[in-house]
Amino acid sequence: MTRETILSNSPVPEEDDPNLRPSRMADMVGQRDVIERLQIAIEAARQRDEVLGHVLFDGPPGLGKTTFAHCIPSELGVPVDFLSGPSLKAPKDLVPSLTNLRPKQVLFIDEIHRIPKAVEEYMYTAMEDFRIDLILGDGINARTHNFKLRPFTLIGATTRAGMLTGPLRDRFQIREHLDFYSQEDLTEIVCRNAMKLNVEITDEAAAEVALRSRSTPRVANNRLRWVRDFAQSRAAGKITAQVAQDALKMAEIDSLGLDRLDRRYLDTLIRVCLGGPTGIGTIAATMNTVTDTLADEVEPFLLRSELILRTPRGRIATAKAYAHMQLDRPTNSGQPGLFD
């Protein structure tokens, strides 16, 4: 089960409005250090007339990995092909993209941590020497042909850098971690996108939407669209702070920006698991949901908000989580240091 609400945090690509996605790095908000480093590498590659080194982005969903994969080729003035890790089941699935590369092209692989070992190993020589082995013919007539590729830039995106093997990680010359956005940057994104969506919003309302968007641009976009719909049908189209609050309340987004699934996680950890430490598998099974959804979409923001801690023995709810959920801490929590 994934998030079921209309205000989903989930990285469902069709939910991303292409009109809201910046197409140049100069139009991206925040991530200044990452952008600056990339601009230097891009400029140097252009001056040397070489391909840009392979780039790996990691970080929770919705923070801009795919956006970078749109902006980088556009800065380089080269085409880009989009592939998804789970769809690459065998090396042959990668061959058409590799053999049809256009000069200095970018190849983007989303969820690169989900490619099977055989595909990963096939990519090693492609990335390092721009060569692959092609099997031509069948049965006893089969022979291996070493095929030279056009030099290209691979951009990989992952929500789980820890799941990548060392040899694959080491083949990326540029590795960037995308962090959550500041309240200021997110407010800026909400203001810009309200303009693009042609809806009037006050500064206070933009700050309110940003505050309840889990420090994540995709979530901010989703929530802005909902608030816009609400304003249109209930408030003559203008988004004021009150309208934003009413709309988000109706969608069950709380003061910290947590939605139903986030709160169900905290409720399970606190009430059912007595505050932990509890393994993520147990929490997922108790909630009747899948571990990956919790690990990718729920936990990163709860950790960042200091509502949970990840320990070697499992997840623990913090004092802030008890206060936020308005639940009393159990007397037998076994974690005295956390509350005193």
Q: Which of 66, 105, 213, 293 is in the footprint of ligand ADP by CB under 6 A?
A: 66
Task: Tell me which residues in 220-259 interact with ligand ADP (CB under 6 A).
Answer: 221
Is 73 among the residues that bind ligand ADP (CB under 6 A)?
A: no
Q: Is 159 a catalytic residue?
A: yes
CB of residue 54 to ligand ADP, shortest distance in Å: 17
Site mask for ligand ADP (CB under 6 A), range 164-203, x = bound? -------------------------x--------------
Indicate the residue whose CB is closest to ligand ADP.
64
Is 20 among the residues that bind ligand ADP (CB under 6 A)?
A: yes
Q: Which of 3, 7, 9, 22 is in the footprint of ligand ADP by CB under 6 A?
A: 22
Residue 62 corresponds to which amino acid? G
Q: Is 66 a catalytic residue?
A: yes
Q: Is 92 a catalytic residue?
A: no
CB 256 within 8 A of CB 212: yes
Using CB under 6 A, which of the segments 65-73, 80-88, 245-253, 297-305 binds ligand ADP? 65-73
Q: Which of 7, 58, 62, 156 is in the footprint of ligand ADP by CB under 6 A?
A: 62
Is 300 among the residues that bind ligand ADP (CB under 6 A)?
A: no
Site mask for ligand ADP (CB under 6 A), range 310-329, x = bound? --------------------
Four-point Cα dihedral 306, 310, 313, 318, nearest 10: 10
Q: Which of 30, 85, 91, 275 is in the footprint of ligand ADP by CB under 6 A?
A: 30
Question: Among 67, 153, 158, 159, which one carries the catalytic annotation?
Answer: 159
Question: Among 218, 223, 228, 315, which one carries the catalytic annotation?
Answer: 218
Q: Residue 33 or residue 133: which is nearer to ligand ADP going by CB?
A: 33
CB 156 within 8 A of CB 150: no
Strand partners, 27: none
Helices (H), the chain: 32-48, 65-76, 95-99, 117-129, 166-170, 183-196, 203-211, 217-234, 241-250, 260-267, 280-287, 291-293, 299-304, 319-325
Question: Cis omega before residue 11 (within 30°)?
Answer: no
Helices (H), 235-310: 241-250, 260-267, 280-287, 291-293, 299-304
Q: Is 238 a catalytic residue?
A: no
43-69 in b/e form (b: 16+ CB < 10 A) is eebeeeeebbebbbbbbbbbbbbbbbb
Q: Which of 10, 31, 293, 335 is in the footprint of ligand ADP by CB under 6 A?
A: 31
CB 298 within 8 A of CB 259: no
Q: Is 165 a catalytic residue?
A: no
Distance, CA of 167 to CA of 193 (rounded, Å): 40
Q: Which of 3, 7, 9, 21 is in the footprint of ligand ADP by CB under 6 A?
A: 21
- Pick the closest to residue 313 from 298, 293, 335, 330 (CA basis): 335
Distance, CA of 256 to CA of 65 (rounded, Å): 24
Is 307 among the residues that bind ligand ADP (CB under 6 A)?
A: no
In the numeric block, which tokens belong to residue 227? 């608030």
Residues in contact with ligand ADP by the rule CB under 6 A: 11, 16, 20-22, 28-31, 61-67, 157, 189, 217-218, 221
Q: List the catalytic residues.
A: 65-66, 110, 159, 218
